[in-house]
Amino acid sequence: MTVAWQQAEFVLGAEGAYANPYTDVEVWADFTDDAGTTVRRPAFWDGERVWKVRFAPPSGGRWTWRTHSSVADPGLHAVTGELDVRPRAADSPNPFLRHGFWRMSPGGRNLVHADGTPALLVADTAWALPWRATEDAVRVYAADRAAKGFNAVLLMSLQPDMDARGPRDRTADEGFDVAFEDLPDGHLDRLRPSYFRYFDRLHAMLLEHGIVPVLQPVFQGFGWKGLRAAGAAVPSDEYGRYCRYLVARYGAAPAVWLVGADGSGSEPQIAAGGREIEEWDAYGQPTGVHYRPHSRNDAHQDAPWLDFQWCQTGHRGEHVPERVADMWRNLPAKAVANGEPTYENTGEHGRAEGWWQGHEAWSNLCAGGTMGVVYGAAGLWQWRLHPAEPGHQPFFLAPDTGWREALDFAGSHHVGMIAHILAGLPLADMTPDWQLTFAPRGLSVPGLLYVTYAERGGPLRIHPDTDHAVPRPYRVYDPRTGEITGTGHRQEGDLVLPDAGGAPRVFICNTAWAPDKPGSPA
């Protein structure tokens, strides 16, 4: 017995022996409920003669299942079973058990849960966590990020640099765990199940804290140390097969698939991986591409597997929300975000520090990055073990900083605060709107919501011709603290939301707020 949207696992035992089970055998299972709904899930090899199938039932009731295999092995093929499922847990503190996994909104611009509840990605960048972090460290990390409001984290699923060398020890300087024995040769054939069993435990800790893994298969760009990342070198069929493996192992839990990263987007591996994810991810979780700074950010724009495009704006400490605005205009419509602003304190203390990160996040959001916001800290993304660990490029490090020190950088508080301020709002398919008020940047869901960020605060003036389109109830927030500094309910013709000015402010007008129940500070 399980509950809807909760992962169940089924273990299969092969009777035959295979030279390379990862490459030579394909196994999948069809799960069917009494209404005839079928969910197909790929299985994954987990060492020796063991395969596993993971399945999250999208609804309650009785589900039956039957396996299929590319080989006539009675331990893998035509194995059957059934599963009794309770309806989704409407009172669960876990939003994914209450509402289902993330998918794209009807207009394709935002995240929603399976039941239509709006969501906003607020992501951290801990790229190296899967192959550097220990279980004790991830407990600390996940608790910190969840408390600050983060609900996602960008991860390299494996150490991608073909020329990186170091001990296979997560606690040793320059050490890392290895997912494929043949990655240094530009291949993904010799998979190590023990690596993924360890990552299973880290993965579960993140999810327990409400943090969704944004899984990147193999980097196309810089990688970890700039030592020949394998993502643009491995054969496309091997890249696609690995994407299927990730879907099999981690796709029956909340996930985002970052099929390409830090490249041009045109690398053939990306399309191969995107097609494989589209075929095998029965839940339709978001799939997209993250680009290098000097890129057009529009590869595969019309591909059916593509849900989002993420730019990056480099590492110099400059605000460039225009890149997000440009991506918004690309058609057909896809969700967009700045997936990699300047890392806090990268290269030197003070660069992109503190409130710089909050301003960057609100600016990108209101420019059209409505899928969400992403933050990164130097020293954390590499998972530098301690402030003196050698072997990393100084340009990308915060001086005298390891992952634990970087966890406390002030900017993470400001970015995480966005989740608290926007919680529960009708965000689905909000669009940039420059016409409703005399403000530099804003977002609108017609008839429901208006959000604008003012870098220096001051009164918000509504255009007389659009008075009717701006919801009457409003709140004014200090985005640095989440404090509500003003609240009210406008009358017709009242065209000013008051604020003294001199500090950052977020103005939110929301039809659902009753005038006599302004709520409490976030």
Residues 97-142 have pLDDT tens digits of: 999 999 999 999 999 999 999 999 999 999 999 999 999 999 999 9
Residues 151-177 have pLDDT tens digits of: 999 999 999 999 999 999 999 999 999
CB within 8 A of 205, min separation 6: which ones? 135, 138, 139, 142
Residue 272 has φ and ψ, to the nearest 5°, of -60, -45
Would you state the pLDDT for residue 40?
Answer: 98
Q: Chain-centre distance of CA 170, in angstroms?
A: 24
pLDDT at residue 283 greater than cutoff 80: yes
- Tell the residue number behind the tokens 């058990």, with chain if given: 97
CB within 8 A of 477, min separation 6: which ones? 421, 483, 484, 485, 505, 506, 507, 508, 522
DSSP secondary structure string for all residues of 71-112: S--TTTSS-EEEEEEEPP-TT-S-HHHHH--EEE-TTSSSEE
Residues 406-420 have pLDDT tens digits of: 999 999 999 999 999
Percent of the chain with pLDDT over 90: 96
User: What count of other Cβ atoms lies within 10 Å of the Cβ of residue 408?
Assistant: 12
pLDDT at residue 226 greater than cutoff 80: yes
The secondary element (H helix, E strand) that includes residue 148 is helix 135-148
pLDDT at residue 201 greater than cutoff 60: yes
In one-letter notation, the amino acid at residue 26 is: E
Percent of the chain with pLDDT over 70: 98
pLDDT at residue 432 greater than cutoff 70: yes
Would you state the pLDDT for residue 521?
Answer: 38
Would you state the pLDDT for residue 228?
Answer: 98
* Averaged pLDDT of the chain: 96
CB within 8 A of 73, min separation 6: which ones? 14, 15, 16, 25
Would you state the pLDDT for residue 515?
Answer: 64
The secondary element (H helix, E strand) that includes residue 249 is helix 236-250
Task: Calculate mean pLDDT across residues 458-463.
Answer: 96
**Sign of the C-alpha dihedral, residues 241, 242, 243, 248?**
positive
**Cβ-count burial 307-334 (b if 16+ within 10 Å, e if not):** bbbbbbbebebebbbebbbbbbeeeeeb
Cα–Cα dist 398/400, whole Å: 6
- The neighbouring-strand residues paired with 80 are 66
Contact 385, 132 (CB under 8 A): yes
pLDDT at residue 303 greater than cutoff 50: yes
pLDDT at residue 522 greater than cutoff 90: no
Task: Calculate mean pLDDT across residues 219-226.
Answer: 97
Would you state the pLDDT for residue 291?
Answer: 98
In terms of Cα–Cα distance, which of 33, 100, 95, 54 is closest to 424? 95
In terms of Cα–Cα distance, which of 307, 221, 228, 304 is closest to 266? 221
Residues 487-514 have pLDDT tens digits of: 999 999 999 999 999 999 999 999 999 7
Residue 269 has φ and ψ, to the nearest 5°, of -60, -30
Q: Chain-centre distance of CA 317, in angstroms?
A: 23
Task: Calculate mean pLDDT across residues 468-489.
Answer: 97
DSSP secondary structure string for all residues of 326-373: HHHT-SS--EEEEEE-PPBT-SSTTTT-THHHHHHHHHHHHTT-TTEE
Residues 49-59 have pLDDT tens digits of: 999 999 999 99
- Tell the residue number behind the tokens 């110099």, with chain if given: 316
Q: 64 is written with which tokens?
A: 């039956």
Cα–Cα dist 370/350, whole Å: 28
Cα–Cα dist 56/158, whole Å: 25
In Å, how far are 106, 286, 292, 359, 386 from 283, measured between CA atoms?
Answer: 15, 9, 28, 34, 39
Please state which of the ranges 73-77, 131-135, 206-210, 431-435 shows the lowest mean pLDDT: 431-435
**Sign of the C-alpha dihedral, residues 211, 112, 220, 232?**
positive
Q: 47 is written with which tokens?
A: 């060492």
439 confidence band (pLDDT: 50, 70, 90): confident
- Tell the residue number behind the tokens 């969840």, with chain if given: 146
Q: 68 is written with which tokens?
A: 């299929």
Would you state the pLDDT for residue 507?
Answer: 98
In one-letter notation, the amino acid at residue 364 is: N
pTM above the 0.95 mark? Answer: yes
Would you state the pLDDT for residue 385?
Answer: 98
Q: 231 is written with which tokens?
A: 């993502």
